[in-house]
Chain A
């Protein structure tokens, strides 16, 4: 099965709720990741604030960050390959990669 890794920027919380805006996209991705996990998908989100070392150790992420700066985040890797940057993957993309139907989660795009 494919392994999905999402490298978030430094977030107050995974939902962005204590941030300045209710960001529906953050809520969507938080819920989608939860659902995928429950279905046994190998998916992980990293918060730059808590695990910055991963952003150094991962060569793909680090190289991209050095080139583009913080605007490149969030970055999504699928099996170690960069698939999406400067935004989160859509539910359709997630379904394509995992085969899990995310129809119950409201789409914001």
Chain B
């Protein structure tokens, strides 16, 4: 595999780095930006990194307007926060009506503006200014983004009748689009932004992954989604590949083998694109000089004699003891994709069963045969929610209901509504509400959880449409029964899982905030895949372990020390 070399990728005016949280998009985008600036080009780097650690990297304050980096002549950095942009947008809509409309009406508005769609749209809104600004286009040789707009946002803007029908009639508008303020005025900007993105001469998409299965699948998914929208100029970069293997060090051998195994399973759809690799670095990518080295210099070993393995930490067993002793009935395991939710849910289910509880395990992971067999062997009843299947079933239910009453052109809008992230969440929520409802004597352990936004939406709709729902089927009754149970901390625990790294911890903090907003209680956090719990001589892994400590400490603060640590394991 070729090493990632800035000179070898198509250096279009706009470069977008995309990939799952925590794969190193921001570091790679920074390394590319610094490398090009060092070569004498004028560069604008636009970051939406949720971890927001760019201010530390560049050791200067950043803002949404752009700051010249003192240490890197030619580089200007803009730091955007889409969540903040969404919050500001929400306040700009709702604020003027406080005091003019009753509190309950204000709350109704706020919740409809709190979903992931609002954040997506707010992010696209910010992007579009940078993609279409002729002054910046002229001023900079390259404009680099450390993220890319979602397919959902782009598709809404591409719907042929999105502009005319939505603006003039605003009846069957693509719902998420309705949130854009001043849509009419910005129409041309959005159109142009979408066109630029799809222009291979102007835009190159750099898919970033790690040598692991789940980020590779995520890269394949966003690759084909954006390809379908005309963004065909793509390259794949695999970050943090362990280069040398020390055969006598068991851990580094296992990690090496695991990575090589994952690399053999790169999805076919990604194989048509140029493929590059970036080695795992032993140094932390937290300052300009280290990021400068990222793409060029190989081993720089920071030998550290002070480093000690963590010990006497809480484990999964402590967590399970607590769940058992406090007689929890429903246990959700919540976290971003790829943090090990399904494995942890299985561990919890088996631990509870060993302590004598009757347990039902529900997983949403399609490739989970090992955990399945183990759980069934331990006498646990198991069910599986196929997310694609429940979503398709929900879509078909909708299509069947509207087929007679809605014209073909309106159907197009409805299809896009059905592709919104909210729809997916709701379809899955309905499926497990049903499972929880049926379980009477068993503790139900589920490897996913609803977001606070879904719950608040359900809650307000439940209150609001009570009359209508009484006449409906049993699945909505299951939903109605589950809501109060979720809010009862005596009955329900939501365990948040994360990894000991910056982005996953920040992402998990957001999940927590969202849960709190919905009045859902959380006590336990699990930090999975810790290298800081295992003995290794490998200097790369030792360095990695050392950097974990900061994030483990942060999780302990967030969870009031209800933090269970799980060591890195080549099975998950």
Contact = CB atoms under 8 A, between A and B. Distances in A.
B405 A28 contact: yes
Nearest to A28: B405
A96 B394 CA distance: 35
Contacts of B469: 21
A65 B97 CA distance: 13
Interface of A: 9-15, 17-25, 27-28, 30-31, 33-34, 37, 45, 47-50, 52-53, 55-56, 62, 65-66, 69-71, 73, 87, 104-106, 108
B303 interface: no
B422 A48 contact: no
Contacts of A55: 97, 101, 105
Contacts of B457: 12, 19-20
A10 B457 CA distance: 11
A18 B401 contact: no
A14 B173 contact: yes
B364 interface: no
A56 B97 contact: yes
A28 B472 CA distance: 15
**Residue in A37, A55, A70, A87 with the greatest tally of chain B CB atoms within 10 Å:** A70
**Residue in A19, A53, A87 with the greatest tally of chain B CB atoms within 10 Å:** A19
Given A18-B423, A19-B426, A22-B401, A13 B178 contact: yes
A28 B404 CA distance: 11
Contacts of B178: 13, 47, 49-50
B109 interface: yes
Contacts of A19: 422, 426, 457, 461
B112 A49 contact: yes
B401 A9 contact: no
Interface stretch (B213-221, B268-276, B412-420): B412-420
Given A17-B398, A18-B422, A22-B401, A10 B112 contact: yes
A33 B174 CA distance: 17
Given A21-B469, A21-B479, A27-B405, 13 more contacts: A14-B172, A17-B414, A18-B175, A18-B420, A20-B426, A20-B479, A21-B461, A49-B112, A52-B97, A53-B97, A56-B101, A69-B102, A69-B103
B405 A12 contact: no
A12 B111 CA distance: 10
Interface in B449-479: 454, 457-458, 461-465, 467-469, 471-472, 476, 479
Contacts of A20: 426, 429-430, 454, 457-458, 461-462, 479
B414 A52 contact: no
Contacts of B113: 10, 49
A37 B410 CA distance: 14
A24 to B, nearest CB: 6
Given A13-B178, A17-B414, A56 B405 contact: no
A104 B463 CA distance: 30
Contact of A65 (B101, B115, B117, B454): B101
B314 interface: no
Contact of B109 (A10, A17, A27, A104): A10
Interface of B: 93-94, 96-97, 100-105, 107-109, 111-113, 115, 117, 170-176, 178-179, 394, 397-398, 401-402, 404-407, 410, 414, 417-418, 420, 422-423, 426, 429-430, 454, 457-458, 461-465, 467-469, 471-472, 476, 479
A88 to B, nearest CB: 10
Contacts of B465: 21, 23, 25
Given A56-B101, A70-B102, A48 B171 contact: no
Given A10-B112, A11-B112, A24 B417 contact: no
Contacts of A22: 394, 397-398, 401
A31 to B, nearest CB: 4
Given A9-B108, A17-B417, A55-B101, A31 B406 contact: yes
Given A9-B108, A12-B457, A24 B175 contact: no
A45 B173 CA distance: 12
**Residue in B175, B178, B463, B467 with the greatest tally of chain A CB atoms within 10 Å:** B175
B462 to A, nearest CB: 8
A18 B178 CA distance: 13
Given A18-B420, A20-B461, A31-B406, A50 B101 contact: no
**Residue in A15, A56, A108 with the greatest tally of chain B CB atoms within 10 Å:** A15
B171 A45 contact: yes
B41 to A, nearest CB: 43
Nearest to A35: B405
A87 B173 CA distance: 22
Given A9-B464, A56-B100, A106 B112 contact: no
Contacts of A34: 171-172, 406-407, 410
A71 B460 CA distance: 10
Given A70-B104, A70-B108, A52 B467 contact: no
B476 to A, nearest CB: 6
Nearest to A88: B468
Contacts of A73: 105, 108, 464
B486 to A, nearest CB: 14
A69 B109 contact: no
A106 B401 CA distance: 10
Contact of B101 (A24, A52, A104): A52
B423 A30 contact: no
Contacts of B479: 20-21
A89 B171 CA distance: 17
A62 B97 CA distance: 12
B108 A14 contact: no
Contacts of A87: 467
